Structure formats: C-alpha cells, structure tokens
Amino acid sequence: MTKRKRPERPNMDGDISPPPERHQHGLIERLPQSILDDQGRIAQPLRARDTLELMERAGTITTAMLDAGAKFHAQFFAAGFVAIKAADISRIPGNSGPAGSRLVGSIDAKRRINDALAACGGHASPGGSCLWHVVGCENTLKEWALRGGWNGKPVHQHRAAGILISALCILTAFYESAKSN
C-alpha cells in the first residue's frame, strides 16, 4: 500500500507552506519576487539560506566579507571544484563552441582560488580549509567543525566561526589588493 502525499495547505496569508522535508536542508525563505517556472506558471520559490548570509544578517560579518565569500564561491564553481551531478552536454563532440575556451577559464579560476587560499595560509591552514569546505563546497560551519575541521580534528563551533570570520577578513583584503593592482 502506497502512502498518498497530502496536498499542501495554505497558511493564514494564503501562501502555500513548504513540506516538512524541505526544512531538513536548513533555514529556508521565500524569495520576495515571483518567477516563472518551466511551464510559464507563476511560482514563489523557496531557497535555503547559506552560512554567510546568516552571518551577515546577524552582524557577524560585513557586507564586504559576504561579497568576498560570494566571489570565492563563484570562482570555486568556475574552477570546477563543485561536483556537478548531471553530465556536461558541452563535452559531447561537436556540441559546443570553441573547445579550449572553457578550459582556459577553468584554469584561470583554479589559479585564482589557489592564490586566495595561499593568502589565507594555504589549503592545509585552518582558514584555507574552512573556506574550501564552508564557502566553496557549501557545507555548514557545524558540518565542517564536527566532520574534521582543521587537520582532521573536530573544532568547537565557536572557534570554527572565528576561523571563518578571520579567513573572510583576509579574503576581503586579498580581493581589495588585487583590485587595486
């Protein structure tokens, strides 16, 4: 016997609330603007809040630090460090434009990520490890701290937050100095 999924019920404001399973992925919020779904219908999407946004809203980090983290994450994604679950259709022969253009961008992004991590002490440093796992791979701060933190040892969550804040501070200064050069 299969269990039937109950339809979502509107809340007091008439909005449809997300299913309970959606809350397993952290704090979620409804985007302020409507978008069109793939069939052209109006949708009110939900999205999970990430660690840096929560820290910025709490006043723990500055907007400049949030921007530096977003830039690091974008470069991390461009470098191909984020695991993509679907096959890249552009890798099929004869399916895309210039063959080497994506590779050059990826190599440049990898160099920029390595330079940013070097400024924070390198991959094996507390700040570098935290940036890689929390900002790049989008793990929560708690996951990074408990899973192995720095040097394979768990880190207390308050110390992990301090490590991330200091790494973001260094990252912000690194991007500012790169901009002025």
**57 in a domain, yes or no?**
yes
Report residue 24's pLDDT band, with 50, 70 and 90 as the boundaries. Answer: low
pTM of the full structure? 0.70
Query: Is beta strand 42-43 parallel, antiparallel or unpaired with respect to 35-36?
Result: antiparallel
**118 in a domain, yes or no?**
yes
Residue 72: count other Cβ atoms within 10 Å of its Cβ.
Answer: 25
What 3-state DSSP class applies to 16? strand
Say which residue, 40 or 136, is predicted with more confidence: 136
Q: What is the pLDDT of residues 71-112, one digit of tens each?
A: 999 999 999 887 655 555 555 555 454 544 455 668 899 999
**60 in a domain, yes or no?**
yes
What letter represents residue 70's amino acid? Answer: A
**94 in a domain, yes or no?**
no
Q: What is the pLDDT of residues 5-20, one digit of tens each?
A: 544 444 445 556 666 7
Q: Is the dihedral of CA 42, 48, 49, 50 positive or negative?
A: negative
Q: Calculate Rg over the CA atoms of the chain.
A: 20
In a shared domain, residues 174 and 115? yes
**How many independent structural domains does the chain possess?**
2
Please tell me the distance from the alpha carbon of residue 30 to that of residue 45, in angstroms, as a whole number.
6
Q: What is the pLDDT of residue 12?
A: 46
What angle, rounded to 10 degrees, do the helices at 157-180 and 63-78 form? 80
In a shared domain, residues 34 and 119? no
Question: Which of 42-46, 65-69, 122-126 has the least mean pLDDT?
Answer: 42-46
In a shared domain, residues 55 and 45? no
Task: Report yes or no: 170 and 120 within 8 Å, Cβ to Cβ.
Answer: yes
In a shared domain, residues 134 and 59? yes
Q: Which domain holds residue 35?
A: 18-49
In a shared domain, residues 111 and 36? no
Q: What is the pLDDT of residues 119-158, one digit of tens each?
A: 999 999 999 999 999 999 988 899 999 987 778 888 998 9
Q: What is the pLDDT of residue 108?
A: 92
In a shared domain, residues 58 and 122? yes
Say which residue, 35 or 161, is predicted with more confidence: 161
**92 in a domain, yes or no?**
no
Q: Over 90: is that where the pLDDT of 168 sits?
A: yes
